[in-house]
A and B are shown apart, each in its own frame.
Chain A
């Protein structure tokens, strides 16, 4: 007699792969449909690009290859972009859609930012905190919804074009695009930034302290000041933490 662990193993294998077992195929259909609809909610642009039928197909393969251990279905699909990156290299039919993985990464960033809930400090509050802690080292706290990506395609343009009823021609110029996505006053916003700003935000995400940053920017003090000011004004920096 099989024990509970092997019964569950056999059952899962039956659900995750196409099978002829009628009663398990009911579960398979339910599971496939449920996960497909979760992916559709997060990736409407990807769905539009590849079409309904192919998206369903990809969703089934994704489920089979990368089943999650996360009970919260709201975070299902977090590595769909990485999955697509692999599929693009392996599938002839996707060879023209090199940007697909990047578009889905952008869609995931938008989706995740929209779900983040936090109470930000105003720029004035942050600045007054900085001023009153002038003599101690601090860490700048990044907006918890903020994500940074480097894309090889003009992803914001591609994404925007797919919000229109008719998708026009997009010029796929291959160049580095540094993109930041964050939630600001209840809205999700995104922006192309330059490489220097990107590097600065990256340092903040590594929790570099003000003293450490000053060292890195020792010959570019003014630049550092500007970065900090811009980051506070844009809502990228939302707080500071004093290092004890």
Chain B
């Protein structure tokens, strides 16, 4: 039985950035001042030995978090244990401080569409997902973090608010929460949620990590594009979250149109400045 609680073991990590191919060599050579790196595990399934050795080299100097996108936690199909085995193998090799996956589904009824779809927030879903998170944690032998996703639609069937939904699943399964501040902002714009209320409703002791990212204004909605700097409104919401939760390891997510390493380092410093001025440990 697992029970994530950060009160007794608060992390002293501040901001981190995603470790992406174009920067690997530069990071090994220059050892830049960065708190930690996030690895997308899906990019490493079947990675060659040389790449893994490069990662291990970087790992000897920095903490890692492992983040995946393909588990499809909320699907009605069985969990794919071949896939989970690959994730576990990487985790055993890279020894991350956290392992996380999205609270979403990517396919069902024998189809996988490689996207992060939102879930109807019902009692049925809570029980279904909590049970699967438990299975995954049993399989990994440790707790995971589940992340709130951005959405472009919701379901008339939903019976509870999003913060209630993620909190109930985390409590029932014993997992922690990876709170994506940008996703809360996007959903507040796309679906009309109250972003600050959301933040205030998620219990502080369940949060193991936060995400920040940039979005793209499209016609009638904001796309969770991860291809630019964090928006001002998202920084504001982040400051509010830091005021509510205190210091939490925070990732700058940037997955498309990946910029120079210096831009990511600069965004990470923008997060650290806020942590330093708002949080008293």
Residues in A lying within 8 Å of B, measured CB to CB: 1-5, 7-9, 11-12, 15-16, 22-24, 26-27, 30-31, 34-35, 67-74, 76, 115, 117, 119
Contact = CB atoms under 8 A, between A and B. Distances in A.
Given A2-B157, A4-B128, A68 B48 contact: no
B117 A11 contact: yes
Contacts of B115: 27, 30-31, 34
B110 A69 contact: yes
B68 to A, nearest CB: 9
Interface of B: 42, 45-49, 70-72, 74-77, 80, 83, 105-115, 117, 119-120, 122, 124-125, 128, 152-153, 155, 157, 220-221, 223
Given A27-B153, A71-B72, A5 B108 contact: yes
A71 B48 CA distance: 19
A20 B71 CA distance: 29
A23 B76 contact: no
Nearest to B84: A71
Shortest 8 CB-CB distances between A and B: which pairs?
A23-B153, A71-B70, A117-B48, A8-B108, A26-B152, A67-B111, A5-B76, A73-B114
Main secondary structure of the interface of B (DSSP, over half): loop
A23 B152 contact: yes
Contact of A69 (B112, B153, B157): B112
B109 A71 contact: no
A9 B128 CA distance: 16
A75 to B, nearest CB: 9
A71 B114 contact: yes
A26 B109 contact: no
B217 to A, nearest CB: 13
A8 B105 CA distance: 9
A16 B112 CA distance: 11
A40 to B, nearest CB: 15
B109 A12 contact: yes
Contacts of A12: 107-109, 111, 113
B46 A115 contact: yes
B221 A26 contact: yes
Among B72, B110, B111, max chain A CB count under 10 A is at: B111
A1 B120 CA distance: 11
A117 B80 contact: no
Contacts of B76: 4-5, 8
A12 B128 CA distance: 19
B155 A7 contact: yes
A72 B84 CA distance: 11
Contacts of A69: 77, 107, 110-112
Contact of A74 (B46, B108, B152): B46
A71 B112 contact: yes
A72 B76 CA distance: 19
Given A7-B120, A115-B46, A70 B112 contact: yes
A24 B152 CA distance: 8
A2 B128 CA distance: 15
A55 B152 CA distance: 28
Given A12-B111, A72-B70, 10 more contacts: A4-B122, A7-B157, A8-B76, A12-B113, A16-B111, A27-B115, A27-B152, A72-B45, A74-B46, A76-B114
B81 to A, nearest CB: 11
Given A24-B153, A31-B115, A4 B125 contact: yes
Among B75, B113, B220, max chain A CB count under 10 A is at: B113
Contacts of A23: 152-153
Contacts of A24: 153
A4 B106 contact: no
Contacts of B152: 23, 26-27
Contacts of A68: 111-112
A71 B112 CA distance: 6
20 contacts: A5-B109, A11-B117, A12-B113, A16-B111, A16-B113, A23-B152, A26-B153, A27-B117, A31-B115, A35-B113, A35-B114, A69-B110, A71-B83, A71-B112, A72-B42, A72-B46, A73-B114, A74-B46, A76-B114, A119-B49
